[in-house]
Structure 1
Amino acid sequence: MGFIYNIGIGVVHFGLKCASLFNKKIKKGVVGRQNTFKVLESHLNFGDKTLWFHCASLGEYEQGLPVFKELRKHYKQHKIVLSFFSPSGYEIRKNSPIADIVVYLPLDSKRLSKRFVNLLNPELSVFVKYDIWPNFLNELKKRKCRAILISAAFRKNQSYFKFYGKVLRRALFTFEHIFTQNEVSKALLESINYNDVTVSGDTRFDRVFSQLELNNNLLFIETFKDDKLCVVAGSTWPEDENLLIDYINSSNHKNVKFIIAPHNIKTSQINNIQEKLNVTSVLYSKKEDKQLASAQVFIIDTIGILSKVYSYANIAYVGGAMGHTGLHNTLEPAVFGIPIIIGPNHQKFPEANAMININGMFSISNQEAFNNILNELIQNKEKRLSCGKNCSDYIQKNKGAVIQIIDYLRI
C-alpha cells in the first residue's frame, strides 16, 4: 500500500504541474513549493532549535493560532516554521508574526519529506485538524521528534477506518497524542486501537473568544452605522448576495444599515453588487470620498477586517451555505452575541447545527424564508437579543481547548 501511495504522490505532482498552466492559484502553489528549500536553507542555521506548525489552509491556521501563540510565548529561543499546503493560506499569512519562516509544504514524497525534516529537525510539530501526510510523519517518527494533532475531527467514512486505509491509518500512530473536537472522533480512533487521545474541543472557540480582547473599533464603520440597526453579511457568494439585494431593494426598513463583505472581491463581482442595488452604497476602497452616514449599504472590498466588522452587527448573515461552496465561519459573529442567518447546506458543520438547535441561528432555503426571519429579527428586539445571547453562551461554554493542549505539553 505504501508503494501505491508514493506512486500516487508522483501522479499528483505531475498533475499539479500540468494544471498550473491553466490555473493561477495552482501555479502559485507549484512555484512556491519550488522555493521552499531555498527559503529554509537561507533562514536556518546548523544547531537552530525549531518548532514546526503545519496547516492545510487559512481556516486551519485560524484554528491553530491560539495554540501557536501560546507556544511562541514559551519557546522564545526557537525558530518557528509555519507551512501551508494551499496557496489561499500561504498568500494571506506569509507574513504571519507567529512564525520566523513561512513556506509551502513540499509534496509528500519520501525524498522531499526526508530533506525537509532533516533541515528542520523540529523539537515539536503541531498539525491542525486533518492535513496528515504519511511520509513527513514517518520521518519525524524515525528521528523521535514529538508530533501532535490538534482540533482533529474524524468521520466513519474516512479512509483511516476502511480496509484500504492502512497507510493513512499508520500515519495516525506516528502522533504522540491527538486532541479531538468531539467524542465521536475519539471513539473512531479507539476503534483502530489508537488510545493516546483527548477530547479537548475545537480551538476555534478559543480563537474567536480572543477577538473580544482586541480593539475592534473601526471609525469608518461607526460613521456609516450612525447608531442604526446594522445587518452584516460576511463571506457572501452570488447566491447569497442575490437574497440580500432583493431584500434591500424591496424593504421598507430605510433606517437599517447593511454591510456586505463578499468572499470574492474581484472588481467585476463588486461592481455587479453595486449595479443591482437601488439604494446608496459605498465601497471600503472609496470611503474617503463619500458621506458614509448617508449610505445604506457598505461593501467591504478588502480582506482582513471582517472579524472586527461583526462587532458592529445586530444581525449577521454568513455565506456559503446557500450554494455548495461550504459554510464560512459562523463562530466569528456568534462571539459578539448576535443572531445568525445561513443557507440550508450546513449539515457538515456541527457548530451551525448546534446553534440552530439552541435557537441562535436560523437556516433558510429561499427568498421568502430569508425575508421573514430577517424582518422578525429586525422588528423584535427581545427575540434578537435572546437569540444573540444563545450564540455567545455557546462560545463561552465550548472554549478551553488550548488550556488542555498546553497542559499536556507541560509548559
Structure 2
Amino acid sequence: MLFTYTIVIRIYYALIFLASFFNKKAALWINGRKNNAVKPYKGCIWFHFASLGEFEQGRPVLEALKEKYPAKAVVVTFFSPSGYEIRKNTPLADAVYYLPLDTADNARDFINTLQPGIAIFTKYEYWYYFFNELHQRQIPLYIISGIFRPGQVFFKWYGNLHRKMLAMVSHFFVQDDTSADLLSSINISNVSVSGDTRFDRVWANALQPKQLPVIEAFKAGQKVFIAGSTWPKDEELLAKLINHYPHWKFIFAPHEIGKEKINHLMGLLPEETTVRFSDIDPTSQISNFKVLVIDNIGTLSSLYQYGEVAYIGGGFGAGIHNTLEAAAFGLPVIFGPNYHKFREARELIHLKAGISINDAESLKQATDLLMNDTEYREFTRQKIKEYVRGHIGATEMIVQHI
C-alpha cells in the first residue's frame, strides 16, 4: 500500500507540473516549493493548513498558543497557493512555507531543518511520510477541528495505510460525536469532542468587526443582500434577482478576483448602477449605486456586518464556502445544493435559518421569504446568533490540553 501511495503522490506532482505551464495556480504550487528556503526554528509550534479556510479555522488556536507561549516561534505551512499567497506575510507567524511534497526524503529534510516542538494540523490533511517522521521522532502531532464521515478511506477495507496515519496522531480534537464514534470503531480512543474552532473565530470577529466606511456609505441606511465567495454559476442566478428587489442593494464578493472572472461578473450586472470597489472615487456619491463588486481579498469577513441576508457560494461546485462568517452576524443564509458535508449548513437548515436552492425558481422563493418578510428575518437573526454563541469554546479546550 505504501508503494501505491508513493506512486500516486508522484503522479499527482507530475500532473501539477504539466498544468503549471498554462495554469497560474499550478505554477505557484510548483515554483513556491522550489523556493522553499526553510530555516531552523528549534522547538517551534508548527501549524499546517490546507488553504486559507483552514488557516482561519485554526487561527484561534494559533493566536491563543502564541499568547500563552510568546517565547516560542510559530511556523505555518500551506498546501495550496490560495492560502500561502494571501498569508505568506502574516504577522502571526515567524515563518510561512509551502508544505513540500509528501515523500520520505522531503519529510525527513523538512523536519530535520525546522526542528518543531509540536505539530498541529487543522481539520484534514493526512500525509503519511510527514506523520511518520514526526511519530518516529516522538514530536507530538495534534489534529484540531477534525471531522470524519463513514465514506472516508479510513473506514474502508482498503484503508489500512490511512489507518496507520491516524495511529501516528497524538490526540484528535473533533467537531462532533459522530467523528469520535467513527474513530472509536477503528480502535482510536485518544479523542476529545471539542467542537469547531471556526465558531470561536467568527464570533470574535463579529464582536469586534473591522469597520468599512466605504461599505457604510454604499449602504446608506438601506437593506443589503451580500453574495459571498460566489462562483460563475451562483452569479448567473443571483444577477437575475436585482431588478426584483428595487429597495435592496447588492454586494458581490466573488471567490476568485482575477481580471477575467471580475469582467465576467460585471457583464452580468446592470452597468449604470454597478461599481467595483477598486474603482470607487472618494469624491463620488457611492450611495447612488445599487450594486457593488468587491475585487479584493480580505474584506468579506467584515462585510457581513452591513448585510441583512447572505448567499454563500460554491454549492454548485465542490461544496459551499464559509456560512459561519455570515451567521455570526445573524444573517440568514442561502446556498446551493452541495452542502451535505458541512455540519453547520445542515444545522442552519434545521433551524430554518439556512435555505438550500437548486435553480432560479427555488432561489426566488428563498429570497422572497427572507427579503420580504421582515418579521421572519428578525426572528431568524436571533436564532442564528444564539446558535453560533452556543458552539464557542473549542479553542479553550484544545489549548488547555496541549
Question: How many Å apart are 1:320 and its aligned residue?
Answer: 1.4
Report the counterpart of residue 353 of structure 2 in structure 1: 360
Q: How far apart, in 2, do the equivalents of 1:389 and 1:299 lie? A: 28
Q: Is 1:196 the equivalent of 2:176?
A: no
Q: How many residues align?
A: 400
Q: Is 1:7 the equivalent of 2:7?
A: yes
Partner of residue 249 from structure 2, selected from 230, 250, 257? 257
Report the counterpart of residue 169 of structure 2 in structure 1: 175
CA pair 13-274 structure 1, distance change in 2 beyond 3 A = closer
Q: How far apart, in 1, do the equivalents of 2:383 and 2:47 lie? A: 34
2:305 counterpart letter in structure 1 = S
Report the counterpart of residue 308 of structure 2 in structure 1: 314
Equivalent residues of 2:318, 2:338 under 8 A apart? no
Equivalent residues of 1:338, 1:389 under 8 A apart? no
Report the counterpart of residue 239 of structure 2 in structure 1: 245
Report the counterpart of residue 230 of structure 1 in structure 2: 224
- Cα deviation code 1:280-303 (max 9, x no counterpart): 111100112632011111111111
Equivalent residues of 1:245, 1:276 under 8 A apart? yes
- Cα deviation code 1:41-96 (max 9, x no counterpart): 3xx36xx3311101111111111110011111122122211001111111111111
Equivalent residues of 1:334, 1:395 under 8 A apart? yes
Question: How many Å apart are 1:355 and its aligned residue?
Answer: 0.3
Aligned residue for 1:398, secondary structure, equals coil
Equivalent residues of 1:150, 1:179 under 8 A apart? yes
Equivalent residues of 2:131, 2:168 under 8 A apart? yes
Q: How far apart, in 2, do the equivalents of 1:17 and 1:275 lie? A: 33
Q: How far apart, in 1, do the equivalents of 2:30 and 2:231 lie? A: 27
Q: Is 1:143 the equivalent of 2:144?
A: no
Report the counterpart of residue 28 of structure 1 in structure 2: 28
- Cα deviation code 1:177-209 (max 9, x no counterpart): 001111111111111111100111111111111
Equivalent residues of 2:84, 2:96 under 8 A apart? yes
Q: Is 1:154 the equivalent of 2:148?
A: yes
Report the counterpart of residue 274 of structure 1 in structure 2: 266
Alignment of 1:12-411 (within 5 A): 12-36=12-36, 38=37, 40-41=38-39, 44=40, 48-249=42-243, 251=244, 253-278=245-270, 280-288=273-281, 290-321=284-315, 323-409=316-402
Equivalent residues of 1:361, 1:387 under 8 A apart? no
Equivalent residues of 1:231, 1:313 under 8 A apart? yes
CA pair 35-149 structure 1, distance change in 2 beyond 3 A = same
Q: How far apart, in 2, do the equivalents of 1:314 and 1:26 lie? A: 37
Equivalent residues of 1:338, 1:385 under 8 A apart? no
Bigger drift between 144-153 and 154-163 goes to 154-163
Question: How many Å apart are 1:155 and its aligned residue?
Answer: 1.4
Bigger drift between 183-192 and 213-222 goes to 213-222
**Unaligned residue ranges in structure 1 (runs of 5+):** none
Question: How many Å apart are 1:131 and its aligned residue?
Answer: 0.3
Q: How far apart, in 1, do the equivalents of 2:61 and 2:12 lie? A: 31
Aligned residue for 2:346, secondary structure, equals helix
CA pair 339-172 structure 1, distance change in 2 beyond 3 A = same
Equivalent residues of 1:51, 1:125 under 8 A apart? yes
Q: How far apart, in 1, do the equivalents of 2:14 and 2:335 lie? A: 39
Q: How far apart, in 2, do the equivalents of 1:196 and 1:121 lie? A: 25
What is the TM-score with the length of structure 2 in the denominator? 0.95
Equivalent residues of 1:25, 1:87 under 8 A apart? yes
Equivalent residues of 1:257, 1:296 under 8 A apart? yes
The two structures, once aligned, show a CA RMSD in angstroms of 1.6
Q: How far apart, in 2, do the equivalents of 1:352 and 1:291 lie? A: 37
Q: How far apart, in 2, do the equivalents of 1:353 and 1:94 lie? A: 33
Equivalent residues of 1:183, 1:199 under 8 A apart? yes
CA pair 140-276 structure 1, distance change in 2 beyond 3 A = closer
2:3 counterpart letter in structure 1 = F
Q: How far apart, in 2, do the equivalents of 1:68 and 1:384 lie? A: 35
Question: How many Å apart are 1:345 and its aligned residue?
Answer: 2.1
Question: How many Å apart are 1:134 and its aligned residue?
Answer: 1.3
Equivalent residues of 1:121, 1:145 under 8 A apart? no
**Unaligned residue ranges in structure 2 (runs of 5+):** none
Aligned residue for 1:351, secondary structure, equals helix
Equivalent residues of 1:359, 1:390 under 8 A apart? no
Equivalent residues of 2:119, 2:142 under 8 A apart? yes
Q: How far apart, in 2, do the equivalents of 1:245 and 1:8 lie? A: 41
CA pair 139-241 structure 1, distance change in 2 beyond 3 A = same
Question: How many Å apart are 1:11 and its aligned residue?
Answer: 3.1
